[in-house]
Amino acid sequence: RFSSGRRRRREPAAEGSPPGDHGSMRCQQVIVQYFARRAELVGLRSENLLVPQQITSLQLWEEIVKIHPR
């Protein structure tokens, strides 16, 4: 969820990667939760997506739209 307004604690850098290493293509798993009409359109309440660690909320939204164009 991106609209909570709360700041999330930064996770420590992955072992073997220096802090701020933006050139790596390491991925992380994100749980996307769908509510109300979106859940109906997608046919899911939640799903796990594997995304690059340095993804923005807009980029994540664009990925979701590619997977679920409705």
In this predicted model, what pLDDT tens digit does every residue of 4-21 receive, in sequence order?
Answer: 444 444 444 444 444 454
Q: What is the pLDDT of residue 25?
A: 66
Q: How far apart are alpha carbons 65 and 50 in whole angstroms?
A: 15
Half-sphere exposure of 54 (CA within 13 A, CB side): 10
| Residue corresponding to tokens 């073997």 | 16
The angle at the Cα of 61, spanning 19 to 22, to the nearest 5 degrees, equals 15
Among candidates 26, 23, 34, which has minimal Cα distance to 1? 34
Average pLDDT of the chain to the nearest whole number: 76
Q: What is the pLDDT of residue 24?
A: 55
pTM here is: 0.57
Among candidates 50, 55, 9, which has minimal Cα distance to 29? 50
- For residue 70, what pLDDT band results from cuts at 50, 70 and 90? confident
